[in-house]
Structure 1
Amino acid sequence: MRDIIIRSHHHLKAAQRYSPLQVDGFKSSALLTQIDEHLKTLSDAERQEQVKKVKGIFQFNVKNNAGQVATWTFDLKTGNGSMHKGTVEGKKPDIVIDVKDEDFVALAEGKANGQKLFMSGKIKVKGAIMMATKLDSVLNSAKEKTGFKANL
């Protein structure tokens, strides 16, 4: 997996404050919000191209220090691609990624390596594991357009 680096702490706070993807007690909310914001800046043709390349639905189950679990679904299989808080009825994920909030944030800040987290059991993946590599194209596109660093 590649690490995703948020542009700034200020941006992280702004994303947490104004996003429908926000879940209190989860720092990962801002990261997923930024990916969603990038997706929304793309033209319909660019979004459809991302969907055509990836053809997958990603479910992120993130557990915080209080033991609470929040779920986000990243649909790059249908329509123009979208990010949702929770699961999406009628849309089965191709890949489910379970990770602690702190590990997800460490990954985002470049302080952790996705492969090492996976090998040590800190990231658990169910389903089409190779689908994770397809997420790279979306994150690299976001890197080019927004300036955050994607290293999955």
Structure 2
Amino acid sequence: MSDDIKAPGFQASELIASLQTAFAKYTDAEKQALIKKTNGIFELQVSNDAKETVTWTIDAKKSGSVYKGKATPKADVTIILADETLIDLASGKLNGQKAFMTGKLKTRGNMMLATKLDAVLKGAKAKL
């Protein structure tokens, strides 16, 4: 399952695959709590140094899942960032607000929802 989520040439592939694993380990109650707390679909458009872009979706609104590709249904927020920036956000080296203010991260859609991505990443990290 996790192999089809990885994209060659992207450091964030491992992060996204581990996020998918963490979501799979959630109990139904944990998944419902995540969905209730977050209530959003994040579409991550990540680019690497070779100027390639891959799209991953974190659904914390309907299914509580992580997958490669555009969001279906439509994403509530699209987050556009570099591969390295996503790694730094997930590891805690960089916070979302600072990334946004310095132009390392751009959003389309519900910008306030983008602030919840940090909690989703931290929650999944705790599950692993």
TM-score, normalising length from structure 1? 0.75
Report the identity percentage.
Answer: 43
Task: Give yes or no for contact 1:99–1:123 (8 Å, CA) kept in 2.
Answer: yes
Shift of 1:116: 1.9
Shift of 1:29: 1.0
Task: Give yes or no for contact 2:41–2:71 (8 Å, CA) kept in 1.
Answer: no
| Structure 1 runs (4+) greater than 4 angstroms displaced | none
Amino acid at match of 2:16: L
Task: Give yes or no for contact 2:90–2:122 (8 Å, CA) kept in 1.
Answer: no
* Higher normalized contact order (CA 8 Å, seq sep 6+, divided by chain length): 1
Out of 60, 66, 82, the residue aligned to residue 83 of structure 1 is 66
Residue number in structure 2 paired with 1:133: 115
- Which runs of 5 or more residues in structure 1 are unaligned? 1-17, 147-152
Out of 98, 104, 116, the residue aligned to residue 122 of structure 1 is 104
Equivalence map 1:99-114=2 (5 Å):
99-114=81-96
SS of alignment partner, residue 96 of structure 1: strand
Number of equivalenced pairs: 127
Supply the distance in 1 between the matched residues of 2:30 and 2:94 (Cα, whole angstroms): 30
Q: What CA deviation, in whole Å up to 9, does each residue of 1:94-129 have, x standing for no partner?
A: 000000112222333443333222101110011111
- Which runs of 5 or more residues in structure 2 are unaligned? none
TM-score, normalising length from structure 2? 0.87
SS of alignment partner, residue 24 of structure 1: coil
Are 1:70 and 2:41 matched, yes or no?
no
Task: Give yes or no for contact 1:50–1:137 (8 Å, CA) kept in 2.
Answer: no
Larger Rg: 1
Residue number in structure 2 paired with 1:11: none
Shift in CA distance, 108/135, structure 1 to aligned 2, threshold 3 Å: closer
Shift of 1:144: 3.0
